[in-house]
A and B are shown apart, each in its own frame.
Chain A
């Protein structure tokens, strides 16, 4: 059972454009939603994260939008740059109960930003 569904699988955006990656989750016990960025040959690194008590979080060019009722969250990259080309993973975890503090990852989105 895939608990976090991520789309699209790949994305090509022109430099300066907006990149949007979407995720949907099933487990309503999830209460922490991070996005990880991974460059080829490297480990994932935390990019930005949100908790369900807010609907949006912005850090520089990166914004998470969160819709609790729809059980969806998305990553928006404004003014996309070639250096943003990487694979992005959404994830979810719960802070209490069975399986707490274990991240469940989406399958990833490979973003290519072309000049």
Chain B
């Protein structure tokens, strides 16, 4: 199993551009999450999904959108990128409601200039 994969690894955007961060998992996990990690700030939850077709906001959802059309994929969309969205983005997945361990992808480092 590849686990949780994320693409791209790095990206530089100009202010106002849009992009989609890709996340996929091959473990048949129902729960998927998007976090952002800023230096010295830990990880903050952006959006999460408990299954295909079901998504909900986390702590810092403004400026982002998500969709979950399949169990495997959970893309994160940035519309009108702003410098405040410069961060490292991590996708994670968890098997189901009665399991606790979240498995993280390798991250996408995004810079907005």
Contacts and interface: CB of A to CB of B under 8 A. Distances in A.
Interface stretch (B13-21, B63-71, B78-86, B104-112): B104-112
A44 B104 contact: yes
- The SS class assigned to the B binding surface is strand
Interface in A51-87: none
Interface of B: 4, 31, 33, 40-45, 48, 50, 58, 90, 92, 94, 97, 100-107
A32 B92 CA distance: 17
- The SS class assigned to the A binding surface is loop
Which size class do A's interface residues fall under?
A: 20 to 34
A43 B48 contact: no
Contacts of A108: 40, 42
B31 to A, nearest CB: 7
A73 to B, nearest CB: 15
B48 A102 contact: yes
Contact of A46 (B41, B90, B97, B102): B102
Contact of A89 (B4, B43, B58, B101): B43
Given A42-B106, A43-B107, A101-B31, A107 B41 contact: yes
Contacts of B105: 43
The 5 A-B pairs at the shortest CB distance, nearest first, are namely A43-B104, A105-B42, A107-B42, A105-B43, A44-B104
Given A43-B90, A44-B90, A103 B102 contact: yes
Contact of A103 (B4, B41, B45, B107): B45
A23 to B, nearest CB: 11
Contact of B106 (A36, A43, A107): A43
A49 interface: yes
15 contacts: A32-B100, A34-B100, A36-B104, A43-B90, A44-B90, A44-B104, A46-B101, A89-B42, A89-B43, A95-B100, A101-B31, A101-B100, A102-B45, A107-B40, A107-B41
Nearest to B56: A102
